[in-house]
Each structure stands twice: as C-alpha cells, then as structure tokens.
Structure 1
Amino acid sequence: MSASYDAAAVAALADQQVSWRDKALPPAFWGRTVADVLAGKPRLSELPTPLLTLSAPGLQHNVETLARWCTEHGVQLAPHGKTTMAPALWAKQLEAGAWGITLANVFQLGVARAYGVSRVMVANSVVSPLQLRWIADELAADPEFSVMVWADSVRTVEIMEAARAAHVDAGARQLDVLVEVGGVGGRTGARGAETALAVAAAVAAAPTLRLAGVAGYEGAIAHGASDEGLEHVRSYLRDLAAVHQSLKYDDGVVPVVSAGGSAYFEQVAQVLAPLAKEGARVVLRSGAYIAHDDGYYREISPLGLDPRTDGEQLVPAMHGWIRVTSQPEPGLAIFDAGKRDLPFDEGLPEPQLLRPRSADEHVRPVEGMTVTKMNDQHGFLRFPSDIPLVIGDELRVGLSHPCTAFDKWGLIPVIDDPAADDPVIVDLVRTFFS
C-alpha cells in the first residue's frame, strides 16, 4: 500500500507569493502567487538566465516508467526525496504507487512531516538525542505516521535507546530500526556479518526500539557498469540478503530489505526480489531517476542509453539555459551560469540547442561546442570559429547529476516541451533545501 500525503498542503504551494528570493523569475512576477503567474501561461522567453527547468512530459514518463518496472519485478519503491526536496514531486511519486519516501536526515524528515508524508525511511543513523525525542513526539502524535531509521553499530543503538527511554512513557510506540550492512570500500554500514548481527541483537534487546529489517547502499560499491563492477554489487547484495536471512523478527513484523539507488536497481531486483517470496518487503530507494540526466545517469542507469534490463528508457527531464555575455578571445565565449547555478561534480553541462534570435527563427541543434570550465557565476564555452555565436545568444544545455542540480534552485519552472521554440511554463516547483 502506498504512503499518503497532505494533498491540501501541497496544493497550497500554489498560493505562495514569489519574490526576489526566487532567482528563476523576473521582477515582473514578484508579489504574485504561483497560481497567478501560471494563469498567464508565461513562456520561457519571459524568464531570465541562468535557469534550470524541468520537463513536464519527461517527469511524468520517468515516474510512470520506474513505478511500472518495480511492479513488474516484484519490488516496491520508496524514492529518495533528497534528490528533489520537492513535496509536489514526492506527491507525483506517491500517486504512482510509491510505498514511501526516503530521506537523508531529520531536517528533511521535518519537511516530509509538514506535507503529511505518512511513511518515511531515514537512510541514516540518527544519534542526536534532540532529534530522537522529536521523532518520538511525532510518532506519539500521529498513529498513522511510520518512520524507519538505520543503525550500523551497537553504540548507535545504545544512544538511540538511552535518548528514547528517558523521554517516552512505557508502552510508547517503538522506533523501527533497519540494520545497515556495509561493504568494503563503501560508505557507512556494518562491516561483516558478525558486526551486523551484533547490531541486530542490540536493537532486539532495546525496549523502545524494534528490529524492522536490513538496508544498505550498493552505489558506493562500484563506479561503472563493467562486468566486474556489477559482480561487486551483486556480491554485496548477497551479503546483505544473508544477514536478513540470519535474523529473527518479532511476530507481526514484515521485514524490510532495502537497497537500490538509480544506478544499479536491476541488480537489486535480481538478487533481493526473491526474498519477497519469503515474506520480506523489498524496497528500492532510487531518487535521481525522476529527472534522469544527460550525463552520469544517462551512461550508468539500467534504463539509460545502454539498457541492462527490460522496460522503457528513462529520459532527461532537466535542462539548463545559459546566455553568452562575453567573447574575449576567438573561439571562447563566457556565459552567465556557474557552479552556483548548474551541477558540475559529475560532468560539465553539454551544449545542445541554440534558441531562436528572432520570432521567425527556430531552435537549432549545436555541435562542436564544449563547456570546459565553470567558476562560481561564469562558465567557459569553447566553439569552432565557423559557428556564428554572438553575445546575447541563449543555449539549452544538458546536465549531469540531479542531486546537485535541484539544490541550487528554490523554485524551478516546469515546461511543456524543452525542444520547442518558446516553451510554456506549466508549473513552478518549490524545493526545500534550507
């Protein structure tokens, strides 16, 4: 059963006024509500650069594609909400059948609570007593609210139990804990079955906690889709499954076995989906898939440019828009977007289209242009001398890595067609990163 959310709270985002804090919108729109701005059916040409946009059909396609893929492969989905931190996009994922929303920390959990998300997995250890007490209060206040946290050491379990035992009354709802299983070269997670089983035993013995399953992150185990790399992922997942199969859960607990970012979810289904026949709930946590990209995930996703599984391919649903502001040397253009505007950690922007210069022109694909460097607020574009690029030209660029794209924008326009001469703005998505 999919989680629920507060539809009224999400709908109320349209009543918020836009202002100078929203760099995606020009002064002409300041002081108006989101709904009022959208009622005027503004076009891309009315917005300033630099700009990040989302594609309405691309988002819908990606949400539906992975939801269908999960159903067909016997796994459930709790998409990682940290990618977008956008309750309106979480709502689309939940409406498509997502079992819950995954988040990375308690601040993000607070955003989820503000928008009524009923089931959340915090894919991290929570060791702050202040935060543990707040979670306890939320569980007490809302019987429909469900949250899971992770633990990868006995010390973590001791901290959680001590903080909760001093705060909750006898008989209070227990906090569900997943044992995090790590791998050599990975990030967090218990190293080795012996440590993982000790963590599980500590959780089971803690009166205010409940052992609810196992989890891990395979994305830190391999970087690439070589046969060797994929086997490293599968080996890690087999170890995670073995820990789960060694555990004894309380009666009535449907144990969660969770892994799966956006790079290797087909490996997760291959190794872990059979556990569902043994009574487990196998949950993917893919997040970046909703926007996909023209870089890292295009190359590595199981439903990317070189698919490793059945199903429709994902499509890039985010783009950058830049404007040439200087041509200080032959073959060099400086544009108005930098590291504070567009992602750069998994590849630089990729020039794709030149926007029309006048009403009687159309968008044109570009070739031979390369972004070579980005400063805080500027980018460097190299281009052949035979390309008639001039100051004031506007280009669409493909982007790499959604997780470091959304966090740069508090309000993101959604357009009807990223390949149109002058797309219509059909939505404005509010993000909550701070």
Structure 2
Amino acid sequence: MNTSEAISATAVAGLADRRLDWRHKAIPATANGTTHAEFVAAKHSLADLQTPLLTLDAAALQANADRLAAWCKEHGVLLAPHGKTTMSPQLWTEQLNRGAWGITLANFAQLRVAREFGVRNLQLANSLTDPHAIQWVADQPAGTKILSWVDSVGTVDVINNTLAGSDAVLDVLVELGAHGGRTGARGVEAAMELARVISDSTHLRLVGVSGYEGSLAHTADDAGLAAVRGYLAQMRLLHEQLLAAGLYGSSQVIITAGGSAYFDDVVTVLSPCISTGTETGGPAVDLMIRSGAYIIHDDGFYRGISPFSRDGDQPFTAGMHGWARVVSQTEPGLAILDAGKRDLPFDEGLPEPQFIGPVLGGAMEPLVGAEITSVNDQHSFMTYDASTTTVRPGDVIRLGLSHPCTAFDKWSVIPVLANSGPATDQTVVDLIHTFF
C-alpha cells in the first residue's frame, strides 16, 4: 500500500476478482462461478436478478456523497463517516476520495476489516476494554492513526494494565454522556475528573472530546432538538474547561459528535470551538462529524429527520430499495411477500410499498394505499384495497426502506443499479461487498 493512500486502492480493486456463487443470495444461479468483474461487464439488468433483493442506486449514492462533502467543506468541519452503516470498503473509498478525514467504526472486528483494506485514519466510537483489542491497536504500524474513546477510570485501568511494561501510548478522546443516554461520563464534572486521570497515564494521550447526541432524541420536534442542543452545549463547556486546565496532551485537538440526524445542530453549537491555536496560544481544534447513513439515506427514519429534509434544501435521495414477489394471495386485500426480517430492515419502520409490476425489471405502476403491516423471518404481510388494486402471485413490489444500518448487514453482495426508478436504466453497474 502507498503510505499516502487513505485506503488501499489495490485491496479494494481486488474485490473485482472475487468469485460469485451460492453464498451470495443477490447473485442469480445462472451467474454462479463468475467473478465480480465478469458479472458487471456482462451488463446484467434488474430483470436478471431474483427476489428477495436489495439494490442500491448509483446516482443517489453519488449525489448524497457529493452533497455532504460539499457541506462539510463549506462549514469548515471534518467528516469521519461511521463505516458500520455499510461495512463496505468500496463505499468508504467514495467517502475518503471526497475528502473524509478517515472512517469511524464501532468495535474491534470492524477495525480489523478497515485495516485489512488499508484505512489509515480510524476512529473507534467506543472504549477499548478488550486486552486483545488494546494490544492490537498499540501494535499498529507507523502511519496508522487510531483514536478511541474513554468514559471511565475503569477503562483507563484496563488499558494501563494491558500496556504495562511497554512504551505504547494510545490517543483517546474523553466521552461525555448524559443521563438516559448510552455510554459516556455522566456530566462535565465526571468527565473532567476522568481527563485528569488520563493526563496522569503514561499510556494515554488526551486528544479531544467525543459524544453522541443521537441517543438522546429520536425526533426533530422542539423537545428532541432541545435535548440535543443542551447536550452539545455541555460538550462545548467540557472542551472549554479542558483547555483552561491544560489537560490536552496534543497540539491538535478534535471535538467529534454528529450522526446523520442532527449534524447541523452539532455544527451550529460546536463550530465556535474551531481554532488554529494562534488565537489562544493553545492547541489547534477541529470539529468532526461522523454521519454514516447519509450516503445511502432512506425512505423512512432518515427521510423524516435529516437536516436536509427538514430545511428542504436539496435533500438526500434514498439510495436503497427492496424488491419482493407475491408468493401468496388467498384473502382479499392481503398479499404475502417473499422478503422478511432476514432480507430487509424493520427496526426503524416497516418497508413501504411503492410500485407494483408483473415482472422484475419491467414496467411498474404506483401502488397506492398498500401497507406492510408486519414481517416474519422470510415473509411480509401487505394489505391493500382489493376494490381498486389487483395483486396476483408472482407480482413484484418495489419497497422503500428505513434504516440502512440494518439493511446492509443482511447482504454480503448488493447489486448497484444505474438508477432504481421504475422506468429508468436498471443496468447493474457495480456490486458492493460488505464485511459484517
């Protein structure tokens, strides 16, 4: 790998040599044994695939990636996309090529995937408490930067004990939590006490402040936004107190928050902290958001809560769709589809019937008034108005989906269509590999 590369282009390109077979449920039996490159070169269309199916939309992915990259540049903030959304080095490459600082991940297994593909700058949005993971991070070669979070003195103790007798030093951010939230020191005072312990450690260097506002709210109403903004104000206060106390151990500090739901509020509240260091004589300070779902977006949770949806200013576009066939239609107004929990996300809203047609890849018409009411492991229950809509076994339904994070983990290979609209170019232009 070229040490100047943000990710190994050679490793990512090598995915095109992988052979496709029965292990990849998105690949038709007729293509068994072909390589990724051969499959794409054959210019297969949606009609060549089978249901149940998840597809991506190339035009939407590119537009979404461009949109947030431009927004971050305009606002002077760094982006370290949360790679656990897709666990796809190909999509990480698209984000890194557009200027992302690095990739954020959630656990040790995900870090190993990223390093296998040569990602140089990584952030673990979690605490290192597994001795195997701690030692692995400490043993990474020069040129690799891995930031992790610390939210308790107990975590400091585990790291110190694991690295005792070595000269290893790990870069960490003190994580601020909130009552009712997930991880993170509970309050500024507790975080300051933790920062002092980190400062005294010979194996840790405090390089910033981290937090996650998304666990405190699930809506964009006044109450939800107030909770998010109040928490972010506490993050800013913590940073200011750390500066005043001289507890940072680096000349370059990072403040990081921001998923795909409230990144605009993160920038509004925390961007005053950005500094070159010349103004204060202290460290330079960057603000980093970690939005991950934005590149895929959806037709559910993020469609409703994304800042660009809320302000109506060039919203993201849903870049994933499900496709399912009717396998049973034995009651008026009820159809059973061949896609279920094993195929499509359901934790942030059930799939949304959008179009219907007699064959996959053929002409489709809007499916008005239909609803997925429940899902089993391998089936979905779709109700519809039998007086106005005819549904037959074998009909194909295109589904809007909610929550890309729990869509990608169900597929090891995902076909990418030039455009997944019902009457547009449905050529398979790529295959996305995932590593969950």
- TM bucket (normalised to shorter chain) is over 0.9
**Quick check: 1:222–1:229 contact (8 Å CA) kept in 2?**
yes
Asked whether the equivalents of residues 43 and 429 of structure 2 are also in contact (C-alpha less than 8 Å), the reply is yes
Aligned to 2:303: 298
Deviates more, 1:349-358 or 1:10-19: 349-358
Residue 177 of structure 1 is matched in structure 2 by 172
1:316 to 1:118, Cα distance in 2 relative to 1, 3 A: same
Structure-1 residue corresponding to 2:11? 9
Match of 1:244 among 239, 242, 246: 239
Q: Which of 289, 294, 319 is 2:294 aligned to?
A: 289
Gaps of 5+ in 2: 278-283
Q: Which of residues 230, 233, 238 in structure 1 aligns to 2:228?
A: 233
Is the contact between residue 208 and residue 248 of structure 2 (CA under 8 Å) also seen in structure 1?
A: no
CA drift at 1:307:
2.0
Task: Find the counterpart in structure 2 of residue 432 from structure 1.
Answer: 435
Alpha-carbon separation, structure 1, partners of 2:413 and 2:250? 43
Instruction: Work out the CA distance in 2 between the residues paired with 1:415 and 1:358.
Output: 13
CA distance in 2, matches of 1:150, 1:372: 40
Specify whether residues 108 and 73 from structure 1 end up closer, same or farther in structure 2 by C-alpha distance, changes over 3 A only: same
> What is the DSSP-based 3-state SS (H/G/I as helix, E as strand, rest coil) of the residue aligned with 1:429?
strand
Alpha-carbon distance in 2 for matches of 1:358, 1:346: 26
- Greater CA deviation, 414-423 or 259-268? 414-423
Partner residue, 1:213: 208
Deviation at 1:209, TM superposition (A): 1.1
Match of 2:51 among 36, 49, 53: 49
Q: CA deviation at 1:75?
A: 1.1
Query: In 1, Cα distance between the equivalents of 2:186 and 2:249?
Result: 28
Match of 2:383 in 1: 382
Hey, what's the Cα distance between the residues in 2 that align with 1:152 and 1:3?
32
CA distance in 2, matches of 1:44, 1:376: 24
Measured in 1, the distance between the counterparts of 2:250 and 2:320 equals 43
- For residue 107 of structure 2, the aligned residue among 88, 105, 108 is 105
Letter in 2 for 1:206: S
| TM-fit CA distance, 1:355 | 3.1
Unaligned ranges ≥5, structure 1: none
The residue that corresponds to 2:374 in the other structure is 373
TM-score by length of 2: 0.94
Number of aligned positions between the proteins: 421
Q: Does the 8 A contact of 2:206 with 2:249 survive in 1?
A: no
- The secondary structure found in structure 2 opposite 1:91 is helix
Q: Quick check: 1:265 aligned with 2:263?
A: yes
How far off is 1:136 after superposition?
1.1
Deviation at residue 28 of structure 1 after TM alignment: 1.1
Match 2:311 to one of 307, 313, 326: 307
Per the alignment, residue 280 of structure 2 pairs with: none
Q: Any idea what the Cα deviations from partners look like across 1:297-342, whole Å, max 9, x if unmatched?
A: 00001012x327xx52101000000100101211110000000100
Instruction: Give, as a single letter, the amino acid of the residue that structure 1 aligns with 2:149.
Output: W
Matched, 1:416 2:418: yes
Structure 1 position 74, deviation (Å): 2.0
Counterpart Cα distance in 2 of 1:94 and 1:246: 33
Offset at residue 249 of structure 1 (A): 4.5
Instruction: Supply the distance in 1 between the matched residues of 2:384 and 2:27 (Cα, whole angstroms).
Output: 29
Deviations 1:77-122 (A, max 9, x none): 0000000000000000000110110000010000000000000000
Asked if 1:201 corresponds to 2:196, the answer is yes
| CA shift in 2, pair 1:111/1:203, >3 Å | same
SS of equivalent residue, structure 2 residue 127: coil
Contact between 1:363 and 1:419, CA under 8 Å: does it hold in 2?
no
- Separation in 1, partners of 2:147, 2:247: 15
Q: 1:358 to 1:66 in 2, by over 3 A?
A: closer
> Hey, what's the Cα distance between the residues in 2 that align with 1:356 and 1:423?
16
Give secondary structure in 2 for the equivalent of 1:303.
Answer: helix
